[in-house]
Structure 1
Amino acid sequence: MYDVTIAADARSIALSAGTTAPVRFHAIWLRDNAWDPETRSPGNGQRLIALRDIPADTAIASAEVAGNKLRVTFTPEGKTVDYDIAWLLAHAYDRAHAQGRGRAAPRIETWDSGLMSAVPVADFAVVKSDPAALRGWLAQVARYGFGKLTNGPVRDGALFDVVDLFGYVRETNYGRHFEVRTEVNPTNLAYTGLGLQAHTDNPYRDPVPSVQVLYCLESSAAGGENMVVDGFRAAERLKAENPDWFDVLSRHCARFEYAGSEGVVLRSRRPMIELAPDGELVAVRFNNRSTAAITDVPFDEMETYYAAYRRFGEIIDDPTMEVTFRLNPGESFVVDNTRVLHARKGYSGTGTRWLQGCYADKDGLLSKLAALSGSFAEAAE
């Protein structure tokens, strides 16, 4: 049984149950989050009013608990709204908030080479036909930042079938997709047999494509194994080793540029380690091939910046950070391009190696995961 108490100034309430600590909510927050049909559209849940339509002096005239509902009457509107208590508690903000710069979000798990024995992998045909399997695989991708699919079709354009599982292709100057195989006079080093340092793609874009798909169609050349590194774990390691180095890479912007194709000049200015205002890790941008002259670091900090940049690269290159796997025809992997760096080992000029790649966006993947999770939760009720 829940109890509700109105604060002396009527600007907030406290909701409690038994011996548990009370959870407080401000009157203005409650009014803004009302779900009555005059405030929210019944069809899509979007607000029908703006904050300007809510009186600035909103207070609570009365509040009472009735079963699993909290009924609140607001003044000066004289409006009464019922709230689901479970929803209120799930969205409570009167709690201890996470502290510290460089922390990962609660929903994700950082990793190193120890994940090699538990690579998130699923069968393409299964996730395509079974929503529960798709939800499970997408949840792993969201948690670890990458995932592999096996037993897909071996045909030109099959990578679009992977994107169709969760979202939409993001077209760039490379087209709807790009070929990854050896070329003569390539416009990008990705099209050679050289090994590539672990990197995030397209750091010169704003915003960067937040999901990348690589799909294997041919793989008879020796070498060319794919490799992924958790950029957030690398950032955590740098912070643990030298907080000043972490700080300098997260406080100052690097610059990135690509001008390898006629008529294309792409530039961006972002930190290599990007944090939200509350200190949560947001993104890592790291690509030695596309880093332009760094000009946004003060003279007195530039040597420290380069020491930090060097060490961050050494951590990323550390074999204990990498998870390596080979893609065979019909196999693919999806990577969160804002977090997980990818690379490949060098491969020989004999045999063939043909991958196709494309970009998508993480909001589509997370939207699909949320929708599937909601559907299963409703079915369980």
Structure 2
Amino acid sequence: MPSVTVDPTGTVLTLATPAGPRRFHAVWLRDNAPDPETRAPGNGQKLIALRDIPADTRIAAAGMRGDGRVEVRFDPEEKTVAFDPAWLEEHAYDHPTPRARGWLPAGVETWDAGLAESVPCGDFAALQGGGAALRDWLGSLMRYGFAKVANAPAEPGALFKVVDLFGYVRETNYGRHFEVRTEVDPTNLAFTGLGLQAHTDNPYRDPVPTVQVLHCLESSAAGGENMVVDGFAAALRLRDENPEAFDLLADHCARFEYVGEEGVCLTARRPMIELAPDGELVGIRFNNRSCAALVDVPFDRMEAYYAAYRRLGEIIDDTAMEVTFRLAPGEAFVVDNTRVLHARKAYSGTGTRWLQGCYADKDALRSTHDAMVRAGRLEAAQ
């Protein structure tokens, strides 16, 4: 059974758990109080602003109730609130500061060519049925950053049904979707038979589309295999080889642009390796075709920056990093465009190769997955 103590000033509560003590500040506890005057019972949104909480909030008393909840009385409001100790443990912030720059949260797993034997894949009909099949497929997509779909309809527009599994289409200047097949005088190199270096899509957008879906309709041309590379694994390999090179790509912005259509001039200024303020690795933007002139690196660091940029490209091009597969008509794959780079091998002008692609956003994907996990926990607890 957990136990609680309060420091003499009333500003810190300590919850003793089997995993060790967890400390919480009085103002944090008050701000996160679950009572119906603080949070709306239906949706959990806060009903008060921080200005409504006294600046001198302190804990007057605390203890364990008979039902196992932690009861806390706050002064000067003289307000009593009960907390679920499991919730407190889950949301504890009293832990060591994360490690080296480029750390990854639990549940994210990096990979290389070894994943080719177990590429995450879901059957379309099973995914449409929801339940564990969809939850687990979405979980794999979040863990690895990509997943395949098999046995979807091999018909135009079917990719929207894939997006419907978890979210909504994000429309761009390319429309709700785009065609990937050979064109005469193409507006984008993606519409040729040339092989493409592994890249993230649309780095010139701000914000970048966070999910991409590619769905195969025809595939009789020789070549044209799809390939994916874990950008997080590539960035961490660079960090382990040369921390200075990693820091250069994380600390200085690159510039990306696209002006391939009349009336369109898309630009973005972001680092190739994006870190959160606490060092978490949160994103990769790598697309040599769309990289504009680099002007945000100091003169005395530019040569070293280019060496780091070159080395990251070499790591991405290493076949030991890639997973390659050929999409058959009715198959699709979904990638986290902030993490996983995708490419295709060159293909011949004979036969046909026709894919349709579209963009969506990762927040809806995460929401669908997390809501399913949450519902499962609630059902199991009943």
**1:289 correspondence with 2:282:** no
Question: Is 1:86 matched up with 2:86?
Answer: yes
More deviation in 136-145 or 96-105? 96-105
Residue-by-residue CA offset, 1:320-355 (whole Å, 9 max, x unaligned): 000000000000000000000000000000000000
Secondary structure of the residue that 2:246 maps to in structure 1? helix
- Distance, in Å, in 2 between the alignment partners of 1:121 and 1:21 is 39
Retained in 2: the 8 A contact 1:166–1:368? yes
Deviations 1:31-69 (A, max 9, x none): 000011110001100000000100010001111101320
Partner of 1:51: 50
Indicate whether 1:199 and 2:199 are aligned. Answer: yes
SS in 2 for 1:46: coil
**1:94 & 1:240 partners in 2: Cα distance?**
28
Q: Give me the whole-angstrom Cα distance separating, in 1, the residues matched to 2:287 and 2:103.
A: 22
Kindly provide the CA deviation profile for residues 129-185 of structure 1, in whole angstroms up to 9, marking residues without a partner as x. 132100000000000000000000111100000000000000000000000000000
* 8 Å CA contact 1:99, 1:278 repeated in 2: no
- SS at 1:369 equivalent: helix
Aligned to 1:27: 26
Letter in 1 for 2:322: E
- Equivalent residue, structure 1, for 2:35: 36
Distance across 1 between alignment mates of 2:277 and 2:165: 33
Between the aligned partners of 2:297 and 2:20, the Cα distance in structure 1 is 47
Residue deviations 1:173-205, cap 9 Å, x none? 000000000000000000000000000000000
**Retained in 2: the 8 A contact 1:68–1:86?**
no
Q: Does 1:163 align with 2:168?
A: no
- Residue 352 of structure 1 corresponds to 352
Give the superposition deviation at 1:20.
5.5
TM-score (normalised: structure 1) = 0.98
- Alignment-derived partner of residue 100 in structure 1: 100
> Cα distance, 1:16 vs. partner?
1.4
- Runs of 4 or more above 6 Å deviation: none
Residue 358 of structure 2 aligns to a residue in which SS?
Answer: strand
CA offset digits 1:103-151 (Å, max 9, x no partner): 2222200010010101011111111113210000000000000000000
Task: Give, in whole Å, the separation in 2 of the partners of 1:305 and 1:23.
Answer: 42
Contact (CA 8 Å) 1:5, 1:15: kept in 2 or not?
A: yes
Q: Show CA shifts across 1:268-290 (max 9, x none).
A: 00000000000010100000100
2:181 is aligned with 1:181? yes
Structure 1 unaligned blocks of 5 or more: none
Question: For each residue in 1:347-377, what CA deviation from the matched residue of structure 2 results, as whole angstroms up to 9, or x when unmatched?
Answer: 0000000000000000000000001111111
Aligned match of 1:127: 127
Distance 1:140 1:285 in 2: 22
> Contact (CA 8 Å) 1:127, 1:134: kept in 2 or not?
yes
Contact 1:218–1:352, Cα closer than 8 Å, also in 2: yes
- Pairwise CA distance, 1:97: 3.1
RMSD: 0.9
Q: Percent identity?
A: 68
> Which residue is equivalent to 1:76?
76
Aligned pair 1:301/2:301, yes or no?
yes
Structure 1 counterpart of 2:257: 257
- In the aligned structure 2, how far is the partner of 1:358 from the partner of 1:29? 42
2: distance between equivalents of 1:88 and 1:229?
Answer: 37
SS at match of 2:228: strand
> How many matched pairs?
380
Segments of structure 2 that go 5 or more residues without pairing to the other structure are none
**Which amino acid in 1 is paired with 2:62?**
A
- Paired AA for residue 140 in structure 1: S
Alpha-carbon distance in structure 1 between the residues aligned to 2:189 and 2:131: 38
